[in-house]
Structure 1
Amino acid sequence: MVEAIANIFRVADLRSRILFTLAMLAIFRLGVFIPAPGVDRVALGDFFAGAGDNLFGMYNMFSGGALEQFSVFVLGIMPYISASIIMQLGQVVVPQIERLRAEGQAGRKKINQYTRYLTIGIAIIQSLAISYGLEQMKTSSGAEVVLEAGWSFRLMTMITMTAGSCFVMWLGEQITDRGVGNGASLIITAGIIAGMPGAVLNMKSKLDIGEINLLEIVLLAGFMFGVIMGIVFIERGQRRIPIQYAKRVVGRRIYGGQATPLPLKVNVSGVIPPIFASSMMMFPATVGTVYPHPIFETLSSQFMPGTWVYNLTYVGMIVFFAYFYTAVTFNPVDVADNLRKNGGYIPGVRPGKQTADYLDRILTRLTGGGSVYLAAVCILPTVLTTMYGLPFFFGGTGLLIVVGVSLDTVAQIEGHLLTQHYDGLLGSGNSRGRGRRKPIGSV
C-alpha cells in the first residue's frame, strides 16, 4: 500500500489531477464559511442545535454545513443533481432530447448546456424556498433568525445562493474533467465528511447528559462498521460473463481466439439512486415551506425523515432510480451489437437478439438485488439512528455515499496507475509490491 501511494506521486498526470481535485474541494470548503447577509447567525445556530431530524437538518448535511452557516454555498450541488435527474428522464420520454443523445459528443454538449440552464432555474426556486423557510424560523426562546424579513431579503438571498450554486456546479465539472472521480459526488462526499467532527461531538454531548450510554455507542459503532464492510463487499462484487472471440487470420497472423470476461457490478447503478432519491424527497417539504397552506404543511410533516411515509417513499424512489439509471447507462442491445461486430460471443448463446436478451435478464436480476441492498443500507441504519436521535451523518445514506464514492475514486486512481504500468492501490498486477511493472516483452 505504501509503495502504491508512492507510485501516485511518480505519475505526473495523476499527481496533478489529484492535487487539482484537492484544490477544488478546498475552495468549496472555504466557500462554506463565506456568509450571506441578512441572518442572525447566533439564532440560526440555536435553531440547528435541535434540527437534526427535519428537512433543514438533512439539507444541512448535503450542503456540508453551509445552511447552518447560511453561506453563499447553501444550495451546494443539489440543484445540479435535480437538473441532471430531469434531463436524464427527458432522454427517455422526450424525443428531442433522445435525438440529442444519439448525436454523440455534440449532442451531449447540448444536453449539458440545457442542464446548466435548468440548474439556474431550480436554484432560483430553491433559494426562494429557503428564504421563506428562514423567515419562519424561530429559536426556542422566540428569537427570529432573519434580521429584516421581506422581498429585499428574498431577492438578495436568491441572487447570492443562485450564484453560489452555479459556482459549485462549475467546481464539480472542473473536477470531473481535470481531476479524479465524479465532481458532483465528491462535493457531496466532502460535505458529509466535514460534518463528522460535529456529529461525534454531538454524540459525546448526548453521552455526557445521559441520553445514550457507552454500551449503546459501542453497539452502534459495531453496527456501522458492519454496514461499511457490507458496502465495500457489495460495491466490489461483480458478475463476470465469459466472452469468447473467434479466431481471425490476417496475413500470417492469427488474431482473437481468447476468452475475456465482461464484468457487471452487483450494484450497477452505484450511489446515484440514493443521491437522486434524497434530492427528490426534499421537494414535498420544500413546497410546504414555500406555500404555508394546511394541506401542504400536512404533506410536509408526513415527508420528514424518519416517518413511515418518508421511508416507504424513499425506498420506492431508490428502486425506481436504480432501474432507471441502469437502463440509461447500460444498453444490452448496443453491447450485443458491439460484440457481434468484433467477433465476440457468449458461449451457448447465439449472437444478436439472444445475446441482448441474455444480458438484459442478468442485468435485471443484478439491479433487483442491488436496489434491495441500496434500500436496506439507506433505511435500516437511519431507523436505528432516528430511535437514538443521532446526527444524519450516522444514517445509511451518508455512509453509502462516502464509502461508494471513495471506492469509485480509488478505482479511477488505480486505472491511471495501471495504464502507466504501476501496481494499483489494491495490489493489482503481476509484480505486486515491486513498484513499476515491466512491459510485456521486455527483459
Structure 2
Amino acid sequence: MTDRTDHLTLNVNLQAFGQRPAAWQFGDHDADTLIRPEHWIASAKAAERGLLDAVFFADQPALHNPDPRPGAQLEPIALAALLTAATEHVGVIASASTTYNDPVELAERLLGTDVVTGGRLGWNIVTTYNPAVSGNFGVDANPDRATRYERAGEFVDAVKTVWAGAAGDGGFRFDGEHFRFEGVTAVPPSAQGTPVLFQAGGSAQGRDLAARHAEGVFAVELTLPRAIENYADLTRRAAALGRRPGLPRITPGLSLVIGSTVEEARRRFDDFESRVPDSYALGSLSNVIAHDARTLDLDAPIPADILDKPWNPDEHPTSAGYRLTFLDWIQERRQQTVREILRDFGGYGARIVIGTPEQIADDMELWFRSRAADGFNLMIDHFPDGLVAFADEVAPLLQRKGIHKREYDHTTLREVIGAGTAG
C-alpha cells in the first residue's frame, strides 16, 4: 500500500428511502414522504454532520412501478437548490442526461443553480440506457451505445463553450456534428467558476469521456485487484490527455449495513432482505447476466455458458462497466449456488460491506491506500439513521486514520474535492 497525503472523497447516493429495497417499510414514512423537503434535508444534514463532500442524485426520467421499491420523484437539480439552502457546506451532485437535454438550456440551468448554491453543484454526466426513458420523450428507442457516447462527448464540449462565454463577454458559438448554435448568456460564473463534472460509465467509451472531462468518477468495482487495475487505467488515460495530477477522483459505489457487532449488522441486513420478494434480486441479476435468472436452479451454480456467452449491449442494455466487474467477481464464486450468489449480490450494483464501524473503516482504508479508490459513493441502507450511524461511528475512525477531513476548510465543492480551477 502507498502513502497518501490527500483525504477521501466521500459522497452519498440519496436513494429515496435508502439503498435497501425494503427501506420504505422502516421508519415513519407515508405516501408523501419523498416529496417532503424535510425528508431530503434530514439526510443532507446527516451527510454534512459526517463531513461528506456531497450528496448525489441519480435520475431516471420515466415512470416505473414503485412495487417493491419506491423511487425518487423529484428532479435532481431542483433538489440541489433546496438542499444547499438548508445546509452550509455539503455539495450536491445532480444527474442530467446528454441524450435527453439541450446543451445550451442545460448549461444555463446548471450554471444558474451553481450560482445560487454558492458554488456547491456538481453535474453527473449520463447518457441514459434505460429503454423506458425513450418513450417518455416521444421516440421509439434510445440511440445505441456508440451514438450516445459520441453525442455525449460533443454535448459536454458544447456545455463548456456556453460556460466559457459566461466567463467572458457572454457570447458563445459552437459548430459540431450534433450541435450548432450561437448566442449570449446573462448567467455569470459561479463562486467555483462552473459546476464540477462527474461521470458514471465504466465502458471504454465512458472511460474516454471521464478521462477527458470528469473531475470525479462514480465507478462500479467489486474486487480489489480489478479496482486497482481500473484505477491505474483511468489515471493513465487522464494523464495522457494532459489532465491535472489527481484527477479525476475515482469513487466506487459502496453499500453499507452498519451494526455495533457483526451479528447485529447481519440481523439488520436479514431484516431488510426478508421483506423483499425473490423476484427483485432475480430481476437485478438477470439484468447483469443478460439471462432470465428466474429460469435458473437456485441450488446450483450459474451455468458457465451463461456467464461466458457474447453480450450485445444494445439487446441487453445495462451498465457495461458493472457487467464486466460482476463477471470478474463471479469467477471467485463459480462454485456458489445462485441462492448464495444472490445473498452476496446484495449491493444491487455496488460492493456491500455488512459489519461494524471498525470493519467498514478498515475496508475503506485498504481500498484508499491501495489506490483502488480516491473515495466512495456511499449507498446507505436506510435514511437518515444509517447515514447518521456512518457520520457518528465510521467518520471519526477515518479521521483517526488520517484519511478523512476534520472540518470543511473550503466553501465550494470544487475546492473541497481538490478539483482545481474550472476548465
- Relative to the length of structure 2, the TM-score reads 0.24
> Which has more strand, going by share of residues?
2
Larger Rg: 1
> Which has more helix, going by share of residues?
1
Give the number of the structure with larger relative contact order, counting CA–CA contacts within 8 Å between residues 6 or more apart.
2
- Relative to the length of structure 1, the TM-score reads 0.24
